[in-house]
Structure 1
Amino acid sequence: MSTTTHKQSHHHGNLREVLVEAGIALLESGDAFSLRAVARQVGVSQTAPYRHFPDRSHLEAAMATTGFVRLRRRLEDVLAHPEPAASVLTGLAVATVRFAAENPALYTLMFSRCCGADDARLPASAEVFNLLQRAAAQHFPGVDAHHLATAGWTMTHGLASLHLSGQLRAATPSELDERVAGAFSAVLAAHP
């Protein structure tokens, strides 16, 4: 986003959101990330971000929260299309790993920082997990939905982390989708 766009946007009272979006863009670009760098990106004074975020960790928490909201929306899109149970869980996994592949720095931030009890990313993360738990309960009645959601979340995060670290290589997004779907299909096929 251009500096002009950021300046125009912040005059309408949404500087906090503009800072979060600029922070995500800066993080994903690989450039040095700091509150000052985000302020420069947005075209505001170096002190302006401190009116919304006391320090870098609070901005990072807001960025991670935005990441969880985006991930939840992507998963809701998967659930909007009726599919057989195994296809739903596989689709959720594929969507999550694809999200990680498309937003590697943001995904890493979402899961790599220790956070306190008042961290905004905790309820946002819980919303994603609750969505998974509801999907498990709906599509796999008779199975403990919490345990199934935990297993699915764990396996999906593992696959995403392996991909981001270069250990689950895929030449194309489609190949990555196939590898994730294959892993989930193998586990689900083992279920009697």
Structure 2
Amino acid sequence: MTDLRARLLDAAIALMTDGEEPTLRAVARRAGVSAMAPYRHFIDRDALVDAAAVSGLYLLKAALRGGADGPIVGIVRFAIARPVVARLLLDTPAGRAGLDDLLGGAEPARTQRLALVFGLVRLVLAGDGERALAAVRTGGAGGGDA
């Protein structure tokens, strides 16, 4: 990833964290580059947001490495720490596909784990992260990291 592309993705996530819309112009302004610079890497806002979701998947994978709690607890912890990135993972096609791939496994268990993760992360995004963690730790959210 080029330095400019990384700066643009960081700027997009920072804007979303601040509750602002990540338009290409706003991202350019936040990154301190010309208004046309984002167009070298992204055709439109949707492409930028999808790329931010993919970048978020790399952050999530790095956060899960070496985690002793298992992937579902790790994903919930990540969502608590990085709610904007977690929202990108749930709300973009690239993010959902990445989560599906990350959870892996055979059907129907993979689909059940994915539904569990979506529900728990939505709980975190609604402001109830501790409840989500408690549910997955006690198995009250469908059996933990099954």
Q: Same fold (TM over 0.5)?
A: yes
CA distance in 1 between counterparts of 2:116 and 2:95 reads 21
Counting only pairs closer than 5 Å after superposition, residues 20-169 of structure 1 correspond to structure 2 as 20-78=9-67, 81=68, 91-113=70-92, 115=93, 121=95, 124-130=98-104, 133=105, 145-166=106-127, 168=128
Q: Report which of the two structures shows the higher radius of gyration computed on alpha carbons.
A: 1
Q: For residue 188 of structure 1, what is the amino acid of its counterpart?
A: G
* Aligned residues of 2:90 and 2:118 also touching (Cα < 8 A): no
How big is the shift at 1:124? 3.6
- Which stretches of structure 1, 4 residues or more, deviate above 4 A after TM superposition? 120-123
TM-score, with length taken from structure 2: 0.81
How big is the shift at 1:100? 1.3
How big is the shift at 1:164? 1.1
What is aligned with 1:6? none
Overall identity of the aligned pairs, in %: 34
Q: Is residue 179 of structure 1 aligned with residue 140 of structure 2?
A: no
Measured on the aligned residues, the alpha-carbon RMSD in Å equals 2.7
TM-score, with length taken from structure 1: 0.64
How big is the shift at 1:186? 6.8
CA distance in 2 between counterparts of 1:129 and 1:179 reads 19
Q: For residue 89 of structure 2, what is the amino acid of its counterpart?
A: M
Q: For residue 43 of structure 2, what is the amino acid of its counterpart?
A: P
* Aligned residues of 1:93 and 1:181 also touching (Cα < 8 A): no
SS at match of 1:54: coil
Q: CA 1:187–1:61 in structure 2 vs 1: closer, same or farther (change >3 Å)?
A: closer
Gaps of 5+ in 2: none
Gaps of 5+ in 1: 1-12, 82-87, 134-144
Q: For residue 181 of structure 1, what is the amino acid of its counterpart?
A: R
How big is the shift at 1:121? 4.8
| CA offset digits 1:168-187 (Å, max 9, x no partner) | 463xxxx65333312x2674
* Aligned residues of 1:39 and 1:46 also touching (Cα < 8 A): yes
Aligned residues between the structures: 144
